[in-house]
Chain A
């Protein structure tokens, strides 16, 4: 599958490169832009990103694999991230995870057959004071109960 940045994203990428004295520094932002456009990061995405920044594809690969927020496999339209770290755990984070797993009928790191949902267990999201929490794509849902999380999942298109 070939990958090219869209017109609009090329403009974003250019702006991002300008933020830094060395274009290599824009790699993280370009990968985000590409991921948003393509859904996940493929070899073609890495090659294209590398060529835009005059890098080796290997350098881009080493960045992609280091950070957990770059996906090298497809995720669902709603990527449900459940925090189970200490503060969430103390307030029922694992029960929330079980509830999400049961409700969506898939396990952690799986995608529903209709591609609408995927589940990931994540480390502390900086929401410990409003635990337990989940994040769907970038949106935080906090102070959850099993009932609330079921409602939230139902409300997602």
Chain B
């Protein structure tokens, strides 16, 4: 089966081995074309972003203004903090030069002279691996001021690594730019969009690590080749990360559109203890969870998952067996989003707090049926009402978990009756009395 990123070549992380396998030829090939030709090649390949939203990469690049009155920047997103996602780390470790070469080609295409690769601080050891690869590439003249000598032409480009310091929200592109600028990682209000007003107010493109690492192969082998791998509407291979209750968790590279059941039962060796599956989150913790009975026939690509009522996200598949306590899982997820909310928008800041408090109550066995409805309502109030998509990311798991697993939650709560209190002053107030207490 065709692989692009996690190839079975020993020591590919070393620059000599990478070069023996055609490394840095794609960059040279790209510099022979015009920047627009490179963008066109990527557009036709059908490459879509691997950072969560599956946005067409070539199209994103084409948003960059052509004028050269301001510097332009590329930011590569290696924040990888979405629970259930652990794929970009494999690229830093096993194929860092594909990333570096991809950065060079992307920078050439959008005519950026500087690129910042943003990597979460916890990945300190992987930052060092990438830095070593980067130093080697500088040494050979593939990056930096010596480029024109080493590869000809007059395009030069510098690549820097920026180390994050523990904040999930910094994976959001505008927060990431603020973080690079040395500020708190608050997401920015959009518009203006990064292609107009990005890093230091200059035109900027932000792409995920895996997205960029795919670019050299596209230039080397051509858009047609790439567009034929996997699902036509979301072509290429994906780095699927499978975790939770499976026998062989890990990252597997396979064509887009691979069956979810294939990933779980073949690649990941099936469910631990041969149990049944209760729930699968297909794309990282923010994506809508699916019921175990629902996963048969579902393909892993942006379009198929959308139709199935979820989303591809980062391709991080979390598998939960029949004995999983979903109330505890959702409480943990809610705690994460509450902790990571930057607090700028009221619906997200307050809503994530409310959801956590309510789920804690339910988890302790003190919840009532009306708590379930209240949760749905709070989630609905966050969705679409915030500056950045972390709000939606917090709301979705709650909304869809309750919708698809209402039975689980109803089992965990006490039934309650709602009574209007007919008191002039507090006529709007509702008192919730657990049924158990009335019948006591």
Q: Does B56 sit at the interface, judged by CB under 8 A?
A: no
Q: Which residue of A20, A31, A122, A124 is within 8 Å of B82 (Cβ)?
A: A124
**Please, which residue of chain A has its CB at the minimum distance from the CB of B123?**
A126
Q: Which residues of A contact B167 (CB under 8 A)?
A: 66-68
The A contact surface, by secondary structure, is: mixed
User: Which residues of chain B from 220 to 245 have any CB-CB distance to chain A below 8 Å in the complex?
Assistant: 241-245
A90–B244 touching, CB < 8 Å:
yes
CB of A5 closer than 8 Å to a CB of B: no
Chain A nearest CB, measured from B74 CB (Å): 15
Cα separation A117 to B164 with both chains bound (whole Å): 24
Is B333 part of the contact surface with A, judged by Cβ < 8 Å? yes
A139–B180 CA distance with the chains assembled, in angstroms: 25
Q: Are B200 and A87 in contact (CB under 8 A)?
A: no
* From A62, A126, A129, contact of B249 by CB (8 A): A129
For chain B, the count of residues having a C-beta within 8 Å of the partner chain is 54
Determine if B122 and A69 form an interchain contact, defined as CB atoms under 8 angstroms apart. yes
Asked if B122 and A135 make an inter-chain contact with CB atoms under 8 angstroms apart, the answer reads yes
Contact B160 A19 (CB under 8 A): yes
- CB pair A131–B243 under 8 Å, yes or no, is yes
A91 contacts the other chain (CB 8 A):
yes
Structural contact, B332 and A89, CB atoms closer than 8 A: yes
Indicate the member of B124, B251, B339 with the most A CB atoms within 10 Å. Answer: B124
| Chain B nearest Cβ from A125, distance in angstroms | 5
From known contacts A62-B184, A86-B285, infer whether A128 and B122 are also in contact, taking CB-CB under 8 Å: no
| Contact residues in A for B200 (Cβ distance below 8 Å) | 21-22
- Known contacts: A29-B163, A128-B249. The answer to whether A69 contacts B181 by CB under 8 A is no
The bracket for how many chain A residues form the interface is: 35 or more
The docked-state distance in angstroms from the alpha carbon of A25 to that of B200 is 10
Give the distance to chain A from B179, nearest Cβ to Cβ, in Å. 7
Question: Are A67 and B165 CB-contacts (below 8 A) given A25-B181, A86-B332, A129-B241?
Answer: yes
The answer to whether A138 touches B124, judged by C-beta atoms less than 8 angstroms apart, is: yes
Contact with A along B299-321 (1 / 0, CB 8 A): 00000000000000000101010
Determine whether the beta carbon of B185 is less than 8 Å from that of A66.
Answer: yes
Q: How far is the CB of A143 from chain B (nearest CB, A)?
A: 9
Check if A108 is an interface residue, CB within 8 A of chain B: no
A-B CB proximity, top 6 nearest = A67-B165, A68-B166, A128-B243, A87-B243, A69-B166, A124-B83
